[in-house]
Amino acid sequence: MTRTDSRRFVRGHGTVTVTTRKGRKVRVRHIRPTDAPLLIDMFHRLSPETRRFRFFTSIPDLPEDILWREVRRYTEFNERRQAALIAVVREDRQDRAVGVVRLVVEKADPDIAEVAIVLRDDYQREGLGTAMFDLLIQLALVRGIKRLRAVSLAENEGVQRLIQHAGFRVASQTSHGETTQIMYLEEQDGEQHGPGSTAACESLTSG
Ligand SMILES: CC(C)(COP(=O)(O)OP(=O)(O)OC[C@H]1O[C@@H](n2cnc3c(N)ncnc32)[C@H](O)[C@@H]1OP(=O)(O)O)[C@@H](O)C(=O)NCCC(=O)NCCS
| 165 touches ligand 1 (CB under 6 Å) | yes
Cα dihedral sign, 69-121-175-58: positive
Q: Would 207 be classed as within a structural domain?
A: no
Q: Would 174 be classed as within a structural domain?
A: yes
Atom of ligand 1 nearest to the CA of 118: 39
The pTM of the full predicted model, rounded to 2 decimals, is 0.90
- What letters, b where the CB count within 10 A reaches 16 and e where it falls short, cover 150-181? bbbbeebebbbebbeebebebbeeeeeebbbb
Write the pLDDT tens digit of every residue in 98-130.
Answer: 999 999 999 999 999 999 999 999 999 999 999
**95 has which bridge partners?**
90
Q: Would 123 be classed as within a structural domain?
A: yes
Write the pLDDT tens digit of every residue in 26-64.
Answer: 999 999 999 999 999 999 999 999 999 998 876 677 788
Helix (H, G, I), strand (E, B) or coil at 112: strand
| 50 touches ligand 1 (CB under 6 Å) | yes
CA of 142 to the centre of ligand 1 (A): 25
The residue whose CA is least distant from atom 14 of ligand 1 is: 162
Which pLDDT score is estimated for 193?
52
**166 has which bridge partners?**
none
One-letter amino acid identity for 119? L
pLDDT, greater one: 88 or 1: 88
Question: CATH number of the domain that 139 lies in?
Answer: 3.40.630.30
Q: Which domain holds residue 191?
A: 3-199
CA of 161 to the centre of ligand 1 (A): 7
Q: Would 84 be classed as within a structural domain?
A: yes
d(CA 171, CA 92): 43
d(CA 96, CA 101): 15
- Residue 198 neighbours by CB under 8 Å, 6+ apart: none
Q: Would 206 be classed as within a structural domain?
A: no
| 159 touches ligand 1 (CB under 6 Å) | yes
Strand stretches in the chain, DSSP E: 15-19, 25-30, 82-91, 94-105, 112-119, 147-153, 169-175, 178-184
Number of domains in the chain: 1
Q: Would 205 be classed as within a structural domain?
A: no
Which pLDDT score is estimated for 196?
45
What percent of the chain has pLDDT above 70?
88
Angle at CA of residue 56, ends 101 and 178, nearest 5°: 95
Cα dihedral sign, 73-79-85-86: positive
Q: Would 204 be classed as within a structural domain?
A: no
CA of 118 to the centre of ligand 1 (A): 9
Residue from 88, 82, 113, 112 nearest 100 by CA: 88
| 118 touches ligand 1 (CB under 6 Å) | yes
| 161 touches ligand 1 (CB under 6 Å) | yes
> Given phi > 0 = left and psi -120 to 50 = alpha, else beta, which region is 87?
beta
Write the pLDDT tens digit of every residue in 128-184.
Answer: 999 999 999 999 999 999 999 999 999 999 999 999 999 999 999 999 999 999 999
